[in-house]
Amino acid sequence: MTTLSRGLALGALAAALTVTLPAWSPAGAAGPQPPRTGFETSNGARWTTQPEEQDFLAAVDRASDRVRTERIGTTAQGRPLRLVRIGAPAPAGADRVRRGNAVLLICSQHGDEPSGREACLSTVRDLAFTRDRATRRFLEHTSVLVVPTANPDGRAADTRGNSDGVDVNRDHLALKTAEARAMAAVQRDHRPDIVYDLHEYGPTAPYYVKDVLSLWPRNPNTAHAVHRESVTLSEKYVRPGAAAAGFSTGVYGIWTDPETGEPVKQVAGDGQERILRNTAGVKNSVGLLVETRVDALTDAEKADPALNNRRRVTSQLAGLKSLFEYAGERRARIESATTRARLAGYADRGPVYLGGADNEPPAPGKVLGDPPCAYRLDARQYTDVKDELALHGVSLRRDGKGGAVVPLRQPMRALVPLLLDGRAEYHLTAATPLKGC
């Protein structure tokens, strides 16, 4: 396809985002239109404001018995962090958290990457009001959890980091930010089978210019079956789905030769356990990071930023469509993989890796071939990290001396050394390893 014809195709695809929504009413008769985002009402000329988001979600919540919106935290600047729960019948109340069979969407962790947020907001609305039988059957078996704005302060300032300048997507282990703490609590309480993280990126021509990039958990502590399902989501669903919608695709962090398509070098995408897609894998969820291209691709997009914005959101929607197809078609395999990964921790067998990635062997000294059976926290250490351990869902037992013992025999087995072993790069504290428990 030539550059001109490709640009026209993308423009036509982007225009599809603005089609008129079908009328909806609870009784199925003539009634009010479903709510629209600020992005939609402006035809992509601007992003949805946070007051508009609040009004939009409140309207969806009031009108649909499939949706519940709740506040899960507050940012340093006082903005709410919200979780939207979608299911049919209505999701369980806060006192009866529904576990498993869940897809979690984390939208716009980086505040200057807004297209994922817009795609998430319109997806909430479309799932809330759909009459499609297949989608309604899907929602009977799978809860869709959405954090529509994972970094509200950064979105307000149009900055990558939060109001303290912290990159939230490097805080999923230490949990120093309100944003990461809220997301950790959602993962702990709902134990999602899939965590899908929506981002945007700036290309580097000619080696890194794909419209949609994706990457699974590379951390080697990810259970084999969970890792396999994550790769399947990327390579068999999201990338082919985006390609079918007219977008070029690639693997995040891998530069490729423009002539041969062969890898040139890896510039990002390692196994750092503090990054959400890797944290999700270590916590036994299928994980995927999706990055969509931000720069204008055609003269028309350069002349009309709204056209560029619509194309960016449409590329995110193409990935989400493929995600839901994957979740529906492979539900049994996904649940089997995540359940087996959680139960495997009770067996307390096998190495734990303090470094490396699925495409990079860990450095010498970064493999615990015979891990300790537990870690002991003294009273000071326990006081320092008890809240973070609780947010991560790590089990422990108090020792009667103000401290605690954290066994490896638990679903979060691989996470425990990453948090408490002094040799781990991002450990919270250097606890005492125990043998012979």
Q: What confidence tens digit (pLDDT) does each residue in 386-400 have?
A: 999 999 999 999 999
Backbone angles phi, psi at 109, to 5 degrees: -60, -35
Q: Which of 276, 305, 339 is the last residue of a domain?
A: 339
In a domain, 92, yes or no: yes
Burial of 28 (0-12, 13-18, 19+ CB in 10 A): exposed
Rounded Cα distance between 111 and 167, Å, is 10
What six digits make up the tokens of 98?
A: 């529904």
Angle between helices 115-129 and 305-329 (to 10 degrees): 50
Does residue 186 share a domain with residue 40? Answer: yes
* 99 confidence band (pLDDT: 50, 70, 90): low
- Dist. CA 139–CA 267, nearest whole Å: 38
- Inside any domain, residue 345: no
The tens digit of pLDDT for each residue in 311-321 reads 999 999 999 99
Please check whether residues 54 and 102 belong to one and the same domain.
yes
Residue 414 lies in a domain: yes
Specify the pLDDT at position 33: 83
Question: Are 244 and 372 within one domain?
Answer: no
pLDDT at 88: 72
For residue range 348-380, list pLDDT tens digits in order. 999 999 999 999 999 989 999 999 999 999 999
8 A C-beta contact, residue 233 and residue 326: yes
The verdict on 157 and 211 lying in the same domain is: yes
Domain assignment of residue 368, given as a range: 350-434
Beta strand 374-377 with 404-407: parallel, antiparallel or unpaired? antiparallel
Q: Cα–Cα distances in Å, from 360 out to 357, 370, 384?
A: 5, 21, 33
Residue in 111, 166, 119, 131 with CA at minimum distance from that of residue 316: 119
Out of 45-59, 94-108, 166-180, 319-333, pick the least confident: 94-108
Does residue 415 have a pLDDT over 60? Answer: yes
Task: Say how far apart CA 80 and CA 91 lie, in whole Å.
Answer: 21
Q: What is the mean pLDDT of residues 129-141?
A: 92
- Of 434, 420, 353, the residue nearest 392 (C-alpha): 420
**pLDDT above 70 as % of the chain:** 90
Same domain, yes or no: 279 and 355:
no
Is 170 contained in some domain? yes
270 and 389 part of one domain: no
- Tell me the whole-structure pTM to 2 decimals: 0.92
Where a domain ends, among 311, 339, 367? 339
Same domain, 235 and 283: yes
Query: What number is the average pLDDT over the span 85-114?
Result: 78
The overall longest dimension of the chain from CA atoms, in Å, is: 72
Residue 1 has pLDDT above 60, yes or no: no
pLDDT score for 364: 86
Residue 344 maps to a domain: no
- Asked whether residue 93 carries a pLDDT value surpassing 90, the answer given is no
- Nearest C-alpha neighbor of 176 from the set 184, 282, 150, 403: 184
As a whole number of angstroms, the distance between CA 288 and CA 23 comes to 34
310 and 410 both lie in a single domain: no
d(CA 352, CA 191): 22
Q: Is there a domain that residue 11 lies in?
A: yes
In contact, 128 and 68? CB cutoff 8 Å: no
The answer to whether position 22 is within a domain reads: yes
Domain for residue 279, yes or no? Answer: yes
CATH at residue 318:
3.40.630.10
Q: Tokens 């499609």 appear where? A: 132
Q: Provide the pLDDT confidence category of residue 91 given band limits of 50, 70 and 90.
A: low
Q: How many domains does the chain have?
A: 2
212 and 106, same domain (yes or no)? yes
Contact indicator for 288, 230 with CB cutoff of 8 Å? yes
Cα 18 to Cα 311: distance, rounded to the nearest angstrom: 11
Q: Are residues 418 and 319 in the same domain?
A: no
34 upstream amide cis, omega within 30 of 0? no
Give the residue from 77, 323, 289, 50 showing the smallest Cα distance to 172.
289
End position of a domain, from candidates 295, 312, 339 = 339
Average pLDDT over residues 57-78: 96
The confidence band for 10, taking pLDDT boundaries of 50, 70 and 90, is very low
Both 258 and 398 in a single domain? no
**Are 311 and 422 in the same domain?**
no
What pLDDT score does 19 carry?
30
